Amino acid sequence: MKESRKIAGKIAVVYVIVGALWVIFSDRLSLILAHDEMRLFIFFQQYKGWFFILITGALIYLLVFQRASKLVETTGKLKDKEKQLQKSNQHYQSLFNHNPDAVFEMTREGNLSALNPRGEEMVGYTVRELNGKPLQFLIHPEDREQVEQLFIETLKGNASRFEMKISTKFNQDRLLRCSLLPIVVEGKIIGVFGIARDITHYRKNEEMMIASEKLSVIGQLAAAVAHEIRNPLTSLKGFVQLMQVTKRVEEKHLSIMLSEIERINLISGEMLILGRQPDIAFAREEVNDIIEQVLVLMEAQANLDNVKIKFIPVEAGPLYVNADQNQLKQVLINLIKNAVEAIEGSGTVKVETFKDENRAVITIQDNGIGMDQERIDHLGEPFYSTKEKGTGLGLAVCKKIIERHQGEITYQSEKGEGTVVTISLPQS
């Protein structure tokens, strides 16, 4: 509007100036012509208005042409930008509408402002039903507080990635892997973009794979554990037979018998814990305690294979992590079992824990046959095994479990020198 007034004012000023100059010039010329020749004076008086119209028309034409040229040029640029904007919008709409993941947009207040078709299919609601409403009611109560905190962090400019459970319109529970991204316009965060992938079936498949490998491990440990239990049972049988013959109860015999019974109870208890299929329950666990419980089971197989297991716990006090105890035991049993089996003849497996800044680190080292780099590069891939009768799932399961615990697992090995497996988990 200001620019229009400026242009109109400029034309008006030019018109007034030209008009004033024409009046002064024509009056002077009329006086000169009146003294010299009356016929010219009359002719000029008759046509000076037409002269004025021609001159001012030419000037106005030049001014309007100049402005119109700039306007046409600007309009052309605007049309080009509008076409580019339409193309960008079509690209965005294609990404939004045809995305196999749910894509949604929320205001700073947490109210939904956009939802793609995949998102509608995932939650069971249409965008009309959810538009302008908060989405907390969809989130499982256990995850709401965490999601709210991450939403606040995203509004501060920090993108986040997490998993959460939701309940759909049809009361179906789904597990989603989500990302939240800030929407930045002219340097200001005006809302949040979200991307969600349904991983319910993937997680079930993972759990089935983990359960399958767990059963395989239990089966392989069963023979060693049975052998380990047979020794205290033989002692118990001998003492009972002795008591039957002597008809006396010796205090020291009872002490040994109770000790052997306690060992049987401890081994069988650990087998029962390993065999259960409870829901995943993350809790604050002490790493050294878990390792000691695992070693109760693994000593049986180690003794059969003439291998010693040496445990060196961290000296700087307890080492806590946020973990599912049962799954962490499964990882340790797999790795220690592999270390024991990698040793030909007699040898030692060293299990060590230590702190590295805010990480809890577990290393499992053996002096076995080792591996070349080509095999190391494939460790953790499903169905890839270094054993003749291996399923190729053990290390794949270990990798999945450690990743679920926000940790890392790495391997170092040299042919004929042994292998070192390192597990790193965030401290709790």
- Counting beta carbons within 10 angstroms of the beta carbon of residue 147, is it exposed (0 to 12), middle (13 to 18) or buried (19 or more)? buried
Count the Cβ atoms, other than its own, within 10 Å of residue 188: 9
Residues 212 and 194 in one domain: no
What CA–CA distance (Å, rounded) separates 143 from 283? 15
* 3-state SS assignment for residue 413: strand
pLDDT of amino acid 248: 79
Residues 82 and 118 in one domain: no
pLDDT of amino acid 357: 84
Residues 119 and 145 in one domain: yes
Residues 281 and 395 in one domain: yes
pLDDT of amino acid 35: 65
Residues 42 and 103 in one domain: no
> Is pTM beyond 0.75 here?
no
Residues 174 and 151 in one domain: yes
Answer positive or negative: Cα dihedral of 112, 118, 124, 125.
positive
Residue 376 is part of a domain; what is its CATH number?
Answer: 3.30.565.10
* Domain end residue (candidates: 40, 70, 96): 96
Q: What is the pLDDT of residues 353-400, one digit of tens each?
A: 999 888 999 999 998 888 877 776 666 554 445 554 444 456 777 887
Residues 390 and 338 in one domain: yes
- Starting at the edge strand found earlier in the chain, the sheet holding 359-366 runs 307-312, 347-356, 359-366, 418-426, 408-414
**Which is nearest to 285 in space by CA: 333, 319, 240?**
319
Q: Which tokens sit at 160?
A: 């986040």
Instruction: Tell me the average pLDDT across 269-285.
Output: 63
Degrees to nearest 5, angle at CA 328 with 325 and 330: 110
Over pLDDT 70: what percentage of the chain? 75
* Domain end residue (candidates: 173, 198, 223): 198
Q: What is the pLDDT of residues 144-195, one digit of tens each?
A: 898 999 999 999 999 988 889 999 888 888 889 999 999 998 889 999 999 9
Residue 37 confidence (pLDDT) above 90 = no
Query: What residues does 195 pair with on adjacent strands?
Result: 103, 179
Q: Which tokens sit at 148?
A: 């709210």
pLDDT of amino acid 135: 86
Residues 324 and 310 in one domain: yes
Instruction: Tell me the average pLDDT across 228-251.
Output: 73
Residue 255 confidence (pLDDT) above 90 = no
- Helix, strand and coil content of the chain, in percent to the nearest 5, comes to 60, 20, 20
Segments forming the whole domain that contains residue 165: 99-198
What CA–CA distance (Å, rounded) separates 273 from 406? 23
* Domain end residue (candidates: 96, 117, 149): 96
Residues 369 and 353 in one domain: yes
Residues 73 and 110 in one domain: no
Residues 275 and 237 in one domain: yes
Residue 142 is part of a domain; what is its CATH number?
Answer: 3.30.450.20
Q: What is the dihedral of CA 123, 126, 132, 136, to 10 degrees?
A: -10
Q: What is the pLDDT of residues 286-335, one digit of tens each?
A: 999 999 888 877 876 787 788 899 999 987 778 999 998 888 887 898 88
Number of structural domains the chain divides into: 3
Residues 70 and 110 in one domain: no
Q: What is the DSSP letter of 382?
A: T
Query: What residues does 101 pair with on adjacent strands?
Result: none
